[in-house]
């Protein structure tokens, strides 16, 4: 029977239920126990509620499997235990319906823990059959689009999202209770987008008649809090970047951002490795977690390797020898790395590094000291101003977050942002914007400060062995669904 006919049958049952004067969608359940608890109540009465996952009528008796968030239990309906009309009403039920059932918990001859149903009532009539009832939910895009059905049919999907919640809770616990950070909130709608390089989503506020942007980072607002007297702050929140989608990117994603006064990037390498070792132990009870067939060990300390060292190892070229745009462009062409016309020599070298040097970084690794012209918000190294005190984290060949010692000299930051303005004129769509209010804040004085910016979704990916970022986001962004003409 096709989907359309199955839905028609269910709608007939719905009308029949309503004709009997029964509300198919009551507002409240009288559930007393979760199924996990009820299974331990042998010989006692339990009142449970959940979704019917199977129905097996056998004349005067009917078996059903009932499921809630805590587990499953078998229901045993008997015509001898229920009034005639109550037993006959079972013909109006379908797999997917929600019901409430009460009765004694017992064990069948086959050893199945069950409830001998003495009473039950309908809580929700399901109009659409679950996919396994008619064709199975197998198409990947369809699974993401109908995520609510995906979770019903594939328990591991729900399990990953539960793990995600535990990972985020563990991060909060570590920062607040172990390290003394304050959790804060910063604006999602910003008049000037900043804090990193990215193209923003643009919107408009009608009352103010003003353009706003969905934040691409919350970094500059957390630094304002440091100026204002906070010394340790963090935020876990959504960030938006108007970019493409692939297994590592979703335009809306979750980031952890911290700022700590009187710290530098070395201190934050310590913070990162300590934090994720703590998370692994708290959530997974081990520091060794498998991702796509490879065992990743989060136990500190993690390797720390300079970008120049890795660049030499994987390209055979010394980073500092490529000191002009012409040399950088020639090297990119030689190595088959695609670049943009507006890129500087430092940006080209960084593009080469990301394409040619990072795939082999499987274990958690810090790569430090990046080209200065790519990170205007970072502190330049005193012994080499062409580099900044910055590090990226790599796990399983993926970049997991950019972090650095923060530039707190307003004059140097203004100069760096003016260079960004020139890049924008040359066509770079991701060049940073000059933020006068933030420069004013720095003029009041910001102590030496450093922050981290791990992408939560990618960390959940590698810690739950999920091949795509869409697997760890409850509702990932998808292209518009094509509607077939009838």
CB atoms within 10 A of CB 330: 13
In CATH, the number for domain 152-303+363-471 is 3.30.930.10
Whether the predicted pLDDT of 210 surpasses 70: yes
Whether the predicted pLDDT of 485 surpasses 90: no
Determine the Cα–Cα distance for residues 481 and 485; give it in Å rounded to an integer.
13
Residue 204, strand partner residues: 211
Going by DSSP bridges, is the β-strand pair 210-214/189-190 parallel, antiparallel, or unpaired? antiparallel
Note the pLDDT of residue 481.
76
pLDDT-derived band at 482, boundaries 50, 70, 90: confident
Determine the Cα–Cα distance for residues 286 and 314; give it in Å rounded to an integer.
32
Give, in words, the CATH class of 3-136: mainly beta
Q: What is the mean pLDDT of residues 123-133?
A: 88
Q: What is the mean pLDDT of residues 247-269?
A: 97
Note the pLDDT of residue 52.
98
Note the pLDDT of residue 454.
96
Residues 73, 47 contacting (CB under 8 angstroms): no
Note the pLDDT of residue 486.
46
The pairs formed by 373-376 with CB atoms below 8 angstroms and a separation of 24 or more are 373/344, 373/345, 373/346, 373/347, 373/419, 374/197, 374/346, 374/347, 374/350, 375/402, 375/404, 376/407, 376/413, 376/416, 376/417, 376/419, 376/420, 376/432
Q: What is the mean pLDDT of residues 188-206?
A: 96
Determine the Cα–Cα distance for residues 26 and 184; give it in Å rounded to an integer.
40
High-pLDDT (> 90) share of the chain, %: 88
DSSP letters spanning 259-290: EEET--HHHHHHHHHHHHHHHHHHHHSSSEEE
CB atoms within 10 A of CB 178: 11
In the chain, domain spans:
3-136, 152-303+363-471
Q: What is the mean pLDDT of residues 433-454?
A: 97
High-pLDDT (> 70) share of the chain, %: 98
Determine the Cα–Cα distance for residues 392 and 43; give it in Å rounded to an integer.
59
Which is higher by pLDDT, 480 or 418?
A: 418
pLDDT digits (tens, 9 = 90+) for 321-375: 898 999 999 999 999 999 998 998 989 999 999 999 999 999 999 999 999 988 9
Q: What is the mean pLDDT of residues 280-296?
A: 98
DSSP letters spanning 371-427: EGGG-TTBPEETTEEEEEEEEEEEETTEEEEEEEEBP--HHHHHHHHHHHHHHHHTT
**Residue 369 in 3-state DSSP?**
strand
What does the H/E/C string look like for 75-135?
Answer: EEEECCCCCHHHHHHHHHCCCCCEEEEEEEEEECCCCCEEEEEEEEEEEECCCCCCHHHCC
Residues 190, 205 contacting (CB under 8 angstroms): no
pLDDT digits (tens, 9 = 90+) for 309-330: 999 999 999 988 898 999 999 9
Note the pLDDT of residue 140.
80
Which is higher by pLDDT, 3 or 432?
A: 432
pLDDT averaged over every residue in the chain = 94
pTM for the structure as a whole: 0.92
Whether the predicted pLDDT of 483 surpasses 90: no
Determine the Cα–Cα distance for residues 452 and 401; give it in Å rounded to an integer.
7
Going by DSSP bridges, is the β-strand pair 288-291/252-261 parallel, antiparallel, or unpaired? unpaired
């Amino acid at each position: 029977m096709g989907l359309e006919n199955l839905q028609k049958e269910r709608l007939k049952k719905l009308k029949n239920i309503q004709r009997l004067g029964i509300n198919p969608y009551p507002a409240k359940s009288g559930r007393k126990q979760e199924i996990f608890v009820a299974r331990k109540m042998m010989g006692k009465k339990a009142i449970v509620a959940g979704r019917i996952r199977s129905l097996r009528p056998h004349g005067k008796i009917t078996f059903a499997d009932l499921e809630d968030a805590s587990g499953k239990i078998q229901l045993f309906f008997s015509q001898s235990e229920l009034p005639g009309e109550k037993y006959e009403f079972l013909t109006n039920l379908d797999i997917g319906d929600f019901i409430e059932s009460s009765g004694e918990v017992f064990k069948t001859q086959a050893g199945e823990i069950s409830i001998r149903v003495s009473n039950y009532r309908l809580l929700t009539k399901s109009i659409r059959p679950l996919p396994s009832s008619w064709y199975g939910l197998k198409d990947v895009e369809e699974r993401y689009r109908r995520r609510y059905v995906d979770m019903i049919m594939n328990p591991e999907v729900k399990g990953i999202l539960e793990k995600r919640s535990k990972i985020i809770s563990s991060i909060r616990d570590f920062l607040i209770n172990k390290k003394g950070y304050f959790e804060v909130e910063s604006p999602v709608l910003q008049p000037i987008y900043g804090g990193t390089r990215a193209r923003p989503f643009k919107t408009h506020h009608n009352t103010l008649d003003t353009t706003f942007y969905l934040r691409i980072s919350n970094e500059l607002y957390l630094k304002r809090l440091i100026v204002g007297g906070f010394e340790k702050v963090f935020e876990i929140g959504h960030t938006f970047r108007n970019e493409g989608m692939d297994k590592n990117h979703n335009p809306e994603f979750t980031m952890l951002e911290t700022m700590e006064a009187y710290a530098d990037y070395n201190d934050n390498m310590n913070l990162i490795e300590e934090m994720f070792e703590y998370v692994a132990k708290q959530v997974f009870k081990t520091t060794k977690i498998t991702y796509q067939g490879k065992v990743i060990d989060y136990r500190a300390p993690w390797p720390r390797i300079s970008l120049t060292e890795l660049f030499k190892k994987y390209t055979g070229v010394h980073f500092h020898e490529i000191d002009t745009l012409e040399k950088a462009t020639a090297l990119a062409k030689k190595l088959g790395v695609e670049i943009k016309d507006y890129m500087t020599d430092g940006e080209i070298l960084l593009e080469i590094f990301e394409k040619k040097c990072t795939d082999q970084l499987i274990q958690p690794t810090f790569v430090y000291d990046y080209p200065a012209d790519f990170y205007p918000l970072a502190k330049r190294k005193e012994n080499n101003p062409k580099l900044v005190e910055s590090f990226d984290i790599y796990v399983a060949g993926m970049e997991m977050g950019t972090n650095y010692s923060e530039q707190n000299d307003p004059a140097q930051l203004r100069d760096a942002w003016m260079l960004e303005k020139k890049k924008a004129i040359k066509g770079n769509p991701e060049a940073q914007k000059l933020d006068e209010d933030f420069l004013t804040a720095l003029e009041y004085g910001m102590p030496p400060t450093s922050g981290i910016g791990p992408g939560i979704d990618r960390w959940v990916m590698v810690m739950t062995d999920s091949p795509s970022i869409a697997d760890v986001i409850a509702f990932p962004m998808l292209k518009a669904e094509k509607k077939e003409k009838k």
